[in-house]
Amino acid sequence: MANIVSFIIQKGGCGKTTTTVNSAGYLARQGYKVLAVDMDPQGNMTQHFGYDSDALENSLVHLFLKKKPFDEVLIKREENLHILPNNIEMTTVEYTLYKSMSREYILRDILTPVMNEYDFILIDCPPNLGILSINSLVASTEFMLVVSPEFFPMRAIKPLYETYLMIKSKLNHTLQLKGVVMTMCDFRTRHAQEVRNILQKNFPHKLYQAFIRNNVALKEAASRGQSIFEFDPRSIGAFDYQNFAEEFLREYEPARKKRQYYDNFFSNLANQEQHDILQFAKKNLTAYIQHRLEWHENAPVLREALIIERNKILEKIKPYRNYSIHDE
Ligand SMILES: Nc1ncnc2c1ncn2[C@@H]1O[C@H](COP(=O)(O)OP(=O)(O)OP(=O)(O)O)[C@@H](O)[C@H]1O
Ligand SMILES: [Mg+2]
């Protein structure tokens, strides 16, 4: 059954869409089956995946109004990456929904029949706490707060948290806060560091160690209609989103098992082999990261990046897929 995760904050321009698209892109590349849902009438996620949202014949609107079947609206962008697109027409639905019964459950009812077909359903929320965001949270198993280090997003957290508690008590008892991720960070500024400290204090177990730095390649990828892994897999943005997605995955049982498998496999290799593999893995990192690794070998984010590259190499030697089929 799919893990359904909403990427949310009701302040605009914090990186929700960028985070949804690149997480979906990364997870799909790792072999997970992913459905990305654009719940924002701005249609930014749809555009970021390369579609002209205004020219869509079918969109989420038609599912909300029960005018088209699911398969007709679904875009199969890649084998592992499916999309429910959206556009401005959705604003009309938003209005009529206020008057209808069970208006909070519409997205949940749309997703329930396909839940078993995906490993992850990622939902890009609009920048408000209106009925579409409520629908997203009601349909979700978890939600991820996406925060840029500014004053206004911080002010948005309290009302959002109250909304979460309301939804949890009345509409979706199993909803969980999955994590808090900081985007568009520049920790050379004192302010960004201060925001991180506040988040750390308020969400000690939920603030992600991975964070997303400012990186123009992320903007360019969006304008080309590609994920960062398609546009420039060696950019800082790709590095940061890879770290984020790996941290995001780590709490799920299958991902934990896979990680454990590679850790065991690696520790049973001869010292020389371990050394060679790590050297090779280092070469696959960007020059920037290689350089930083030399000076900050123990920085968790860098060490993690090296392990991720290492595991990619181990995967080629002894794929986990084969192991899980034959040895378990
Ligand atoms: N880490 C980053 N570095 C540089 N630019 C970024 C980064 N993350 C996002 N952007 C850019 O910032 C803008 C806002 O990002 P995004 O659309 O992801 O935010 P959002 O929270 O979805 O906004 P909205 O609330 O309007 O839906 C976009 O132009 C995006 O390309
Ligand atoms: Mg957006």
- Residues whose CB is less than 8 angstroms from the CB of residue 310 and which lie 6 or more positions away in sequence, other chains included: 262, 266, 277, 278, 281
- If you take atom 5 of ligand 1, which residue's CA is the nearest one? 219
Looking at the CA of 21, name the nearest ligand.
Answer: 1
Q: Tell me: the pLDDT tens digits for 187-218?
A: 888 888 989 999 999 999 999 999 999 999 99
CATH tag, 3-251: 3.40.50.300
Q: Tell me: the pLDDT tens digits for 37-71?
A: 999 999 999 999 999 999 999 999 999 999 999 99
Rounded to 5 degrees, φ, ψ at 165 are -65, -35
The per-residue pLDDT for 103 is 92
Q: Tell me: the pLDDT tens digits for 161-171?
A: 999 999 999 99
Q: 42 by DSSP, 3-state: which?
A: coil
The per-residue pLDDT for 322 is 62
CA of 315 relative to ligand 1 center, distance in Å: 33
Query: Where does the chain hold its CATH 3.40.50.300 domain(s)?
Result: 3-251
Of 203, 160, 164, 159, the C-alpha closest to 182 is: 203
Beta carbon of 128 within 6 Å of any ligand 1 atom:
no
Is 174:141 a contact under the CB 8 Å cutoff? yes
Pairing of strands 81-84, 34-38: parallel
Beta carbon of 225 within 6 Å of any ligand 1 atom:
no
The pTM assigned to this predicted structure is: 0.88
Check pLDDT > 80 for residue 99.
no
Question: 233-237, 283-287, 312-316 — which is least confidently predicted?
Answer: 283-287
In 28-153, beta strands by DSSP E: 34-38, 75-78, 81-84, 120-124, 142-147
